[in-house]
Structure 1
């Protein structure tokens, strides 16, 4: 049976803030909506599900993020995931210029957790906290430079 990745869904505190962050990094909004009703309750498994959503896509068209901000029920605050915790970990992006991507992220108050690492001269990569505490990895393939 063939399978493809549809998207990664991330709940956020502020949909517009998250959209601004990811579009500044280069993703494109391909749709926005507000969803609710029996179909949404059934799909998500949550009674009274009502959320604002946005679908974003990477420039190559292969990667999508679905961001959602809950209207009902109230969103539940959690502690940001740490790199060693089991469960949903991070979203990772390849970038052509990690320094430029980090300058963009910094305009949103997002900086590397520790710095930029060099993996054997092949990759430069870092983790940072995006909007709503989302753990984001940026990686630059140095063999393409």
Structure 2
């Protein structure tokens, strides 16, 4: 009997301002699926933090298949900050999102304070790609498939 992976449910990102992060991912095109506070003995046993109180917001892509769980820790205090780490730092790098029009999306996100990390580049005849550092310093990738007729 073999055990198989069923799906990836979400990626978790710890933020300082839940409202700013929700606004950023909403501008990207995700929808707020729910928002609540998590606390209690069971939650601390899962994370190993013992007593914790965390406000979370679940963001979902328009197709309903991918989610980002945004977490703001009320207790315990934040231990470290990786938001300004360069793209070649060990650990989490970025989440990549497919978009229809990369130029329009970059314009929308930068008008809300996001910064283009490098530049928009073309990879062969397949994709236009870029990295954006948005609210909370969260690094995301944008990819626009090219060369195919819709």
TM-score (norm 2): 0.91
Counterpart of 1:78 in structure 2 is 81
1:109 aligns with 2:119: no
1:139 aligns with 2:143: yes
- The one of 39, 43, 63 equivalent to 1:36 is 39
Conserved 8 A contact 2:117-2:132: yes
Paired residue for 1:130?
Answer: 134
Question: Contact (CA 8 Å) 1:81, 1:135: kept in 2 or not?
Answer: no
Question: Distance in 2 between the 1:14 and 1:112 partners?
Answer: 21
Distance 1:84 1:93, change over 3 A: same
RMSD: 1.3
1:2 counterpart (1, 4, 20): 4
Q: Structure 2 unaligned runs (5+)? A: none
What residue ranges of structure 1 are gaps of 5+ in the alignment? Answer: none
TM-score, scaled relative to structure 1: 0.94
1:26 maps to 2:41: no
3-state DSSP class of the match of 2:115?
coil
Q: Which has the larger radius of gyration?
A: 2
1:30-55, Cα deviation, whole Å (9 max, x unpaired): 11100111011011111221111000
